Chains A and B, each alone.
Chain A
Amino acid sequence: MSGTLDHSLQNGLGVYYLLVALMNVGFALYYQRYAEPRKPASATLWWAVAGFFALHAVAYGIFHAGWIMPKIIRTTVDRFADPISYTVLSVVGFAALLYWRKPLTRPQVAWGILMFSLLLGGWSFTDDNFRQIVAKEDNVPITMLIYSVGFFTWLGLYRAVQNDERMERGEPVLEKLEDEKVLVWPDLVYTELICMVIATVVLVVWSILLKAPLEQPATNAKAPNPSKAPWYFLGLQEMLVYFDPWMAGVVLPTLIIVGLIAMPYIDFNREGNGYYTFAQRKFAMVTFLFGFLVLWVVLIVLGTFLRGPNWNFFAPFEYWDPHKVLPLNNVNVSDIFWLQWLGTSPATVTFPGYSGSQLLNVIWRELPGLILVVGYLFVLPPLLAVTVFRKFFIKMGFIRYFVMINLLLFMASLPIKMVLRWSPLNLKYIVAMPEYFFNI
């Protein structure tokens, strides 16, 4: 296979695979020399993986073999990638992670997943379209975000699983084992110093290797396509697909902030304070992790890597074609009600008996949607209080429950609107009052 990869890129890949191979050497040596008890079979496996990566390192770094990821894999991935499959897969992965947290956080399994993702990343990097997006200077933090969030999710769940098992056996949690007091000098100040030195080195190396981007001087005349907010807001920008700016850009962010501040006062569960655990605080864990991992990080990754010109979806190996056109035939609840059920055009609907007020006419037109929204916000909470959340309601009291349920319902509104949009209904707005900038 001869390729079109230039030599400096191949040298870079060579170094990359070499580092990954060395990581595996370290991992294998651990099982061979230090683990109690020694695990020679595991060591052999990771030696083999190290060899596999070393092979890549030699191929790219020395022979410049120019291997490119097989076309068939890329086209298959692209064929199945769209916002639906991406989001659904993420949610399924999330559920699997929490459900099978015990087997999945076992060090060798987690390591295997990491290695698989590094291999996939390395292979994908040989694709021009993929590389152009991922290697963009300001997108580099997203790769760091993915790996650091992945690592710390593993670490947190791993410790939680260990603690849960310990508590089941009636043993104290890990944190309890180190209950004694130590002096801050030297124990803490040295840790801090080392962290600072490492952080400095990382920043300096990062700064030398990667130039800060600078594009053409600013002009109001020509907007780049796509125009994107800074990466940490791309989750919000992605919400614009499903909500109008007043919801995605103002109401929901405000509620995120308010909700975070309110959280300690809502969470009445006194267990799990000061140690890692999953079993003792399942509801809090599932809700927060869903919000942070799926609704925040996964959407940022989508907004950064997979949204191109005109905010269209582009599969990982697809060229960002500014002329790509996607058919949009979204309908609103009022269309369904008036047009599909009653056969009249919603535009001609007027308030019965009196048509002089535009506001009344619009409210009448949108009444079906308004009823749905009012039901969601005002009927659902008491219903849930006497059914699913009965125990919560009793323990929390009215105010706490009221705040929590509203936050939950707003949080759930995003996935709900996503599903409604993707469903055969193609639903855009539940309430559509563009006359008053009031679309939900």
Chain B
Amino acid sequence: MSVGDYIRNSQVWKSIFRHPAPRDRRNRVVVMLTNVFLHLHPVSVRKSGIALSYTWCMGGLTFFMFLELTITGVLLMFYYRPTLEHAYNDILMLRDVATLGILRELHRWGAHAMVITIWLHMYRVFLTGSYKPPREFNWGVGVLLLVLTLLLSFTGYLLPWDQLAIWAITVGSNMARATPFLGHEGPGATFLQVGGVPLIHSGSDARFLLLGGRFVSGDTLLRFYVLHCVAIPLAVGVLIAVHFWRVRKDGGISGPM
């Protein structure tokens, strides 16, 4: 008996994998049904749908980037404190002292890559007309994922707390003060007043809500940190679950009728 057979016949192995190796047709079906992660997939799919030249694997790669960012993100959280006192220095430490010196790079370039792969995924879905019935709703779920992905990237951009960070966020969030009615420099805001007292001013408008202050400050850092590390990833996780579920319920990856 080879070592491999010995391991595969052990009680431990059998308790984990409840069937023989996926070498024949039956077990290749069983493996998909008994493993919770593989179970995201159907058992069999149309050949044209999984061709690389058809899907470009872009949805898969987007998901991979999300997982990679979750893992490296958790590791980064061990080193990083979202306060004016520590944020910048923690990033410096990460650069100069921490072992595995490419943690920050993996996270940053992964984030850039995810923005690119999600655009390409959407591009593919468009070019193959896969948003057409019955997949209209899942396209909409995808658009929300796109928005959340950009927001994830945007909130993360602030965290290093260097010049690049706060000014990019300042430029980006300046838009919010021009929100119609809800921004203090937005059209219509001047009309929202009670007895001559304006309701919308720089201390109460959309930008203030976003930043937690009149300008990018320590409160903004905390706000963006929580959004970046907890709120948005959770929302993305839930929507990805819906997205994958619907890919299957809508009849699997699209193909000609």
Q: Does B12 contact A (CB under 8 A)?
A: no
Q: Does B42 contact A (CB under 8 A)?
A: yes
CB < 8 Å neighbour of A219 from B52, B163, B257: B163
Number of interface residues of B (CB under 8 A): 97
Given A159-B53, A228-B168, A246-B178: A181 and B91 within 8 A (CB)? no
Interface centre among A200, A202, A230, A246 (most CB of B within 10 A): A230
Q: Does B166 contact A (CB under 8 A)?
A: yes
B86 CB to nearest chain A CB (Å): 12
A81 CB to nearest chain B CB (Å): 24
Please list the residues of chain A having a beta carbon within 8 angstroms of any beta carbon in chain B: 138, 140-141, 144-145, 148-149, 152, 155-156, 159-160, 172-189, 191-192, 195-196, 199-200, 202-204, 206-208, 210-220, 222-224, 227-233, 236-237, 244-246, 248-251, 257, 260-261, 263-265, 267, 270-277, 281, 284, 288, 292, 433, 436-438
| B132 touching A141, Cβ below 8 Å | no
* Measured CA separation A12–B168 after assembly (Å): 31
**Nearest-neighbor residue (CB-CB) of B25 within chain A:** A183
The B interface is mostly helix, strand or loop, or mixed, namely helix
Chain A residues contacting B3 (CB-CB under 8 Å) are none
Q: Return the CB mask of B151-184 against A: 1 if under 8 Å, else 0.
A: 0011001001111111110111011111110010
| A179 touching B104, Cβ below 8 Å | no
Segment of B136-144, B222-230, B238-246 engaged in the interface with chain A: B136-144
Q: Does B235 contact A (CB under 8 A)?
A: no
B24 CB to nearest chain A CB (Å): 11
Chain A residues contacting B106 (CB-CB under 8 Å) are 203-204, 207
A336 CB to nearest chain B CB (Å): 22
| B140 touching A261, Cβ below 8 Å | yes
Chain B residues contacting A140 (CB-CB under 8 Å) are 112
Q: 4 new A-B pairs (CB below 8 Å) besides A156-B127, A217-B163, A265-B136?
A: A182-B44, A207-B106, A246-B185, A264-B132
Q: Return 25 A-B CB contacts under 8 Å, by A number.
A: A141-B109, A144-B113, A152-B56, A174-B48, A179-B48, A185-B28, A191-B57, A195-B57, A202-B113, A204-B106, A207-B109, A212-B95, A214-B95, A219-B163, A220-B216, A233-B150, A236-B175, A248-B175, A250-B186, A251-B180, A273-B130, A273-B254, A273-B256, A274-B130, A436-B187
**Nearest-neighbor residue (CB-CB) of A144 within chain B:** B116
Q: Does B190 contact A (CB under 8 A)?
A: yes
* Measured CA separation A199–B53 after assembly (Å): 17
Chain B residues contacting A186 (CB-CB under 8 Å) are 22, 28
A291 CB to nearest chain B CB (Å): 10
* Measured CA separation A429–B212 after assembly (Å): 33
CB < 8 Å neighbour of A213 from B52, B164, B189: B164
B140 CB to nearest chain A CB (Å): 5
| B115 touching A217, Cβ below 8 Å | no
| A218 touching B38, Cβ below 8 Å | no
Chain B residues contacting A184 (CB-CB under 8 Å) are 32, 38, 41-45
| B132 touching A267, Cβ below 8 Å | yes
Chain A residues contacting B163 (CB-CB under 8 Å) are 215-219, 222, 224
* Measured CA separation A438–B187 after assembly (Å): 5
Restricting to B19-74, which residues have a CB under 8 Å from any CB of A? 22, 25, 28-29, 31-32, 38, 41-48, 50-54, 56-57, 60-61, 64-65, 68
Given A180-B46, A218-B165, A264-B139: A212 and B172 within 8 A (CB)? no
* Measured CA separation A182–B106 after assembly (Å): 35
Chain A residues contacting B185 (CB-CB under 8 Å) are 245-246, 437
Given A175-B256, A192-B57, A274-B254: A185 and B38 within 8 A (CB)? yes
| B143 touching A188, Cβ below 8 Å | no
Chain A residues contacting B154 (CB-CB under 8 Å) are 230, 233
Given A183-B44, A188-B41, A229-B168: A212 and B116 within 8 A (CB)? no
Chain B residues contacting A237 (CB-CB under 8 Å) are 171
Q: Does B120 contact A (CB under 8 A)?
A: yes
| A215 touching B162, Cβ below 8 Å | yes
* Measured CA separation A159–B256 after assembly (Å): 14
| B28 touching A176, Cβ below 8 Å | no
* Measured CA separation A187–B32 after assembly (Å): 12
Chain B residues contacting A218 (CB-CB under 8 Å) are 88, 161-163, 165-166, 216
Q: Does B196 contact A (CB under 8 A)?
A: no
B127 CB to nearest chain A CB (Å): 4
* Measured CA separation A276–B50 after assembly (Å): 14
| B178 touching A176, Cβ below 8 Å | no
Chain A residues contacting B180 (CB-CB under 8 Å) are 246, 250-251
Q: Does B82 contact A (CB under 8 A)?
A: no
Chain B residues contacting A179 (CB-CB under 8 Å) are 46-48, 255-256
| A288 touching B46, Cβ below 8 Å | no
Given A144-B116, A181-B47, A216-B162: A246 and B60 within 8 A (CB)? no
B74 CB to nearest chain A CB (Å): 16
Given A217-B88, A218-B88, A277-B129: A183 and B28 within 8 A (CB)? yes
* Measured CA separation A185–B48 after assembly (Å): 15
A304 CB to nearest chain B CB (Å): 12
Chain A residues contacting B91 (CB-CB under 8 Å) are 214
| A178 touching B47, Cβ below 8 Å | yes
CB < 8 Å neighbour of A178 from B41, B51, B161: B51
| A261 touching B92, Cβ below 8 Å | no
**Nearest-neighbor residue (CB-CB) of B254 within chain A:** A274
Given A218-B162, A224-B163, A249-B178: A274 and B32 within 8 A (CB)? no
| A152 touching B124, Cβ below 8 Å | yes
Q: Return the CB mask of B103-128 against A: 1 if under 8 Å, else 0.
A: 01110111011011001100110111
Chain B residues contacting A155 (CB-CB under 8 Å) are 53, 56
Q: Does B80 contact A (CB under 8 A)?
A: no
* Measured CA separation A155–B215 after assembly (Å): 45
Chain B residues contacting A284 (CB-CB under 8 Å) are 129
Given A185-B32, A217-B162: A175 and B54 within 8 A (CB)? yes
| B135 touching A207, Cβ below 8 Å | no
Q: Does B188 contact A (CB under 8 A)?
A: yes
| A273 touching B129, Cβ below 8 Å | yes
